[in-house]
Amino acid sequence: MNAQITFIGGGNMARSLICGLLKQGFDKTRIHVSEPYAPTRAALESELGLKVLDDNTQAASNGNVWVFAVKPQVMKSVCAALQPLAQQKRPLILSIAAGITSEQLDAWLGGNMPVVRIMPNTPALLGAGANGLYANAQVSAEQKATAEQLFSATGVCAWIADEALMDTVTALSGSGPAYVFLLCEAMQAAAEHQGLPADVARALAVQTFVGSAKMLSESGEAADVLRQRVTSPNGTTHAAITAFEDGGLRALVQTAMDAATERGLQLSREND
């Protein structure tokens, strides 16, 4: 990949992408970053050896791929300020902002721009992320390959054909790590309530999630098959699963996913 990449925003997700690229041997002289917060700029410069600017236009002038890693609430103003340069350079636009559509990004940047929306998640910081990607009609096959190669540095990539489903991706994998953390937190608390020391409860709960995720990833078996395999009739696991089912766990998960998806739609409307 011979791209000159500009990151607009230098927060945790941008940092994880940059780290992934550097681990793959990407030339750091072709990475450009703008970040308004001085401590973050200093940290990126000292930890990664990059020159980090406080001016978006100056940083973007060096790139033919722009990665927007800013909050949805400021995306419109950030794009508006970069519109003249975007129309001049015609870069590939990559955005990780939840809820902001490719149509909105295209309009804010002056129109007829190749835009790829990506919904990453926080395990990208460890190279174990899950990325959903959507490309608008202006994105070429070569540009799609560039976007996939960039985000593959942080984990798995999956292309989404219907942009409307990007809000579902946000609800599933974008917000999903928080659901896992909540369940782990609840299991640990329940074990402590029954008398396990906190350090033991945490160690066993965390490793249970690590091992279970590894089985899901490497066994090739579906989640329901693995669940059934460890659920003996009338055993302890069966008792717990029955309690989950009787308590409406599936319906609650659907309600939670629906709420997250709706919030993504709201973000688009609020920032239009």
Sheet holding 92-95, edge to edge: 52-53, 31-34, 5-8, 65-68, 92-95, 115-119, 129-135, 155-159
Indicate if 151 and 191 belong to the same structural domain. Answer: no
Is 169 within the bounds of a domain? no
Same domain, 151 and 211: no
Full-prediction pTM beyond 0.95? no
Domain range spanning residue 49? 5-163
136 and 198 inside one domain: no
Chain-centre distance of CA 98, in angstroms?
A: 9
Q: Are residues 118 and 14 in the same domain?
A: yes
Amino acid at 94: L
Provide the CATH number for the domain around residue 247. 1.10.3730.10
Q: Which residues contact 167 (CB under 8 A, 6 or more apart)?
A: 99, 261, 262, 264, 265
Do 158 and 180 reside in the same domain of the chain?
no
Rounded Cα distance between 215 and 222, Å, is 10
Query: Which CATH number covers residue 20?
Result: 3.40.50.720
Do 123 and 227 lie in one domain? The reply is no
Does residue 58 sit in the same domain as residue 107?
yes
Residues of the chain with pLDDT below 50 are none
Contact 85, 112 (CB under 8 A): no
pLDDT of residue 1: 63
pLDDT value for 24: 82
Domain identity same for 154 and 27: yes
Please report the pLDDT score of residue 195 as a whole number.
Answer: 98
260 and 126 within one domain = no
Q: Tell me the two tokens of residue 87.
A: 């129309």
The predicted pLDDT at position 2 comes to 76
Instruction: Give the pLDDT of residue 33.
Output: 97
What total number of domains does the chain contain? 2
Q: Which residues pair with 39 in a beta bridge?
A: none
Same structural domain, 78 and 209: no
